[in-house]
């Protein structure tokens, strides 16, 4: 499997790209944490900084896609080596979308606090889903950094917890809205934030699936069987 | 620009993949139209068929990604040729996500009709956004088939209309919910459907951006300047 193309230089260049992708991962992770904090305390200038930061993330997406293309053309990787580049290209897309969702959280936080939150403890509603998703995101970047297939499998299972928590929030919000229609507007904003968080969980799961694709050479997207491979907790 | 790699065989294989991607595009387009129809008339078995269809779309994603990898390894494309393959890989991801959103529309249609719609004409609420998005999706596939950069530019502008329409729906729904809290549950379902449609518009826009990347060799993602290039309507 280690043909002529799997040169030291190829490995070095690929590692360079992978470090940059991890840097991008760190950026969107910070964006997400900051956006959550803005939602919690209503710091509007901070929310605006999170929104502005998205441009840097977007630029990184474009330049990293470019770097992957250059690597392919210059080094003409074997099928085995190409798998890592293909997965990296997909991970870059997911990271950019995570940045988009974090930006939405910041934008909604700004809007909600400008209008004033009414009727319920809005941050308490999302505390659990935010914590679970932050961990998933962190772990997915960690699994990508270390190409750890086992950790990746756990992330895929963890995303189910996030989805379940979203449905719980939805039910609570409907109750609030029904009991006091004055809460409808802020309840909807809280729901949009919860939805954005839930999507970040989906992207973390996608990243985990690409890690497994690199490590095990099998494409497990859309496969249910995988959960049987999980060690009992 | 037509180096040794740009052989007839490469072109043929790439065309083969592109036809398959267009086939996948046709599948998600049908999924979307069917899901909208289920939402309109409340045909539950039909909604279940749309949801089941998603597996075929998912499998096509995996096999088309694979075909792109094989093409790169076997034909070692030049930078110029690689651009089309890279764009195709990205388009495949967006098509799969469109399938996911169409599935959500079908699932919500099923749930809404099983519980009974109350208080407002739910399909009328989304008629405009559904029509605009169907057209965007159709046009984006058309632009990808013919690699038509001009049409792609128009799609990018068209997505703003979809986003604007979503905000209109959101305001109407808040009004309904406030006036009659018994509508909250079905209004939320209608909002989720509108949100899924709005995201399909985003994906159509992504596809249009990849078309421009292939045609003009520039990456216009995240660029605002582009709208200046649009002909006055």
pLDDT score, position A221: 75
Mean pLDDT of B48-71: 96
Q: Which residue has the higher pLDDT, B163 or A222?
A: B163
Are the Cβ atoms of A188 and B178 closer than 8 angstroms?
Answer: no
Alpha-carbon span A195 to B104, nearest angstrom: 14
A20 pLDDT band, cuts 50/70/90, is very high
Are the Cβ atoms of A177 and B177 closer than 8 angstroms?
Answer: yes
> Among residues B94, B111, B147, which one has the least CA distance to residue A94?
B94
Number of Cβ within a 10 Å radius of residue A213 = 22
Chain B residue nearest residue A224, CA to CA: B55
Please list, in sequence order, all residues whose beta carbon lies within 8 angstroms of the beta carbon of residue B164, skipping any fewer than 6 positions away.
none
Average pLDDT of chain A is 91
Q: Are A35 and A137 in contact (CB under 8 A)?
A: no
Least Cα separation, residue A66 to chain B (angstroms): 9
> Does pLDDT of B6 surpass 70?
no
Question: Is B2 a domain residue?
Answer: no
R_g over Cα of chain B: 20
Terminal alpha carbon distance of chain B: 35
What range defines the domain where residue B16 resides? 8-229
**Residue B230 φ then ψ, to 5°:** -70, 140
Alpha-carbon span B146 to B150, nearest angstrom: 11
Alpha-carbon span B10 to B160, nearest angstrom: 37
Number of Cβ within a 10 Å radius of residue B215 = 18
Torsion A25-A37-B196-A133 (CA) sign: positive
**Residue B210 to residues B88, B103, B206, B225, B229, Cα–Cα distance (Å):** 8, 24, 6, 16, 16
SS3 content of chain B, % helix, strand, coil (to 5): 85, 0, 15
Q: Does residue B232 belong to the interface with chain A, where contact is any CB pair within 8 Å?
A: no
Mean pLDDT of B60-68: 95
pLDDT score, position B227: 47
pLDDT score, position A4: 52
- Dig out the tokens for B20 from the structure: 């398959």
Q: Does residue B59 belong to the interface with chain A, where contact is any CB pair within 8 Å?
A: yes
**Residues of B whose CB is below 8 A from A66:** 219
Chain B residue nearest residue A206, CA to CA: B93
Long-range contacts of B40-43 (CB under 8 A, 24+ apart): B40/B123, B42/B109, B42/B112, B42/B113, B42/B117
- Dig out the tokens for A98 from the structure: 């995570």
Average pLDDT of chain B is 91
**Residues of B whose CB is below 8 A from A170:** 188
Mean pLDDT of A137-145: 98
Question: Is B1 a domain residue?
Answer: no
Of residues A79, A170, A181, nearest to B73 (C-beta): A79
Angle at B148 between CA B147 and CA B149, to 5 degrees: 110
pLDDT score, position B7: 77
Are the Cβ atoms of B72 and A82 closer than 8 angstroms?
Answer: yes
The region of weakest confidence among A141-150, A213-222, B50-59, B117-126 is: A213-222
> Does pLDDT of B49 surpass 50?
yes
pLDDT score, position A146: 96
pLDDT over 90, % of chain A: 81
Least Cα separation, residue B53 to chain A (angstroms): 13
Query: Residue A91, CB half-sphere, CA atoms under 13 Å: how many?
Result: 34
Are the Cβ atoms of B184 and A178 closer than 8 angstroms?
Answer: yes
Question: Is A3 a domain residue?
Answer: no
Question: Is B179 a domain residue?
Answer: yes
Are the Cβ atoms of B69 and A79 closer than 8 angstroms?
Answer: yes
Torsion B123-B128-B133-B134 (CA) sign: positive
Least Cα separation, residue B50 to chain A (angstroms): 16
pLDDT score, position B4: 52
pLDDT score, position A129: 98
**Residues of B whose CB is below 8 A from A90:** 89, 93
Alpha-carbon span B82 to B75, nearest angstrom: 10
ipTM: 0.88
Q: Are B129 and B173 in contact (CB under 8 A)?
A: no
- For residue A129, the domain's CATH number is 1.20.58.220
Least Cα separation, residue A193 to chain B (angstroms): 13
> Does pLDDT of B84 surpass 90?
yes
> Does pLDDT of B208 surpass 80?
yes
R_g over Cα of chain A: 20
Of residues B69, B191, B221, nearest to A82 (C-beta): B69
Domains: count for chain A: 1
> Does pLDDT of B139 surpass 60?
yes
Mean pLDDT of B143-170: 96
Are the Cβ atoms of B219 and A89 closer than 8 angstroms?
Answer: no
Are the Cβ atoms of B222 and A55 closer than 8 angstroms?
Answer: yes
Question: Is B15 a domain residue?
Answer: yes
Please write the tens of the pLDDT for every residue from B215-226.
988 777 777 644
B184 pLDDT band, cuts 50/70/90, is very high
**Residues of A whose CB is below 8 A from B76:** 76
pLDDT score, position A105: 97
pLDDT score, position B129: 98
Please write the tens of the pLDDT for every residue from A23-81.
999 999 999 999 999 999 999 999 999 999 999 999 999 999 999 999 999 999 998 88
Of residues A90, A181, A221, nearest to B58 (C-beta): A221
């Amino acid at each position: 499997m280690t043909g002529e193309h799997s040169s030291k230089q190829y490995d070095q260049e690929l590692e360079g790209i992978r470090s940059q992708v991890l840097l991008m991962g760190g950026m969107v992770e910070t964006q997400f944490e900051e956006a959550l904090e803005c939602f919690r305390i209503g710091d509007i200038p901070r929310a605006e900084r999170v929104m502005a930061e998205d441009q840097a993330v977007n630029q990184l997406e474009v330049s990293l896609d470019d770097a992957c293309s250059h690597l392919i053309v210059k080094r003409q990787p074997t099928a085995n080596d190409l798998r890592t580049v293909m997965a990296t290209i997909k991970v870059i897309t997911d990271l950019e979308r995570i940045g988009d969702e974090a930006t939405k959280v910041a934008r909604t936080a700004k809007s909600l606090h400008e209008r004033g939150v009414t009727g319920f403890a809005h941050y308490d509603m999302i505390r659990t889903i935010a914590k679970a998703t932050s961990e998933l995101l962190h772990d997915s970047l960690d699994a990508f950094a270390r190409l750890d297939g086992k950790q990746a499998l756990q992330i895929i299972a963890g995303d189910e917890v996030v989805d379940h928590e979203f449905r719980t929030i939805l039910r609570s919000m409907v109750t609030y809205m029904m009991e006091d229609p004055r809460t409808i507007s802020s309840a909807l904003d809280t729901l949009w934030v919860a939805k954005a968080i839930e999507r970040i969980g989906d992207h973390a799961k996608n990243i985990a699936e690409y890690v497994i694709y690199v490590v095990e050479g099998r494409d497990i997207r859309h496969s249910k069987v995988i959960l049987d491979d999980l060690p009992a907790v």
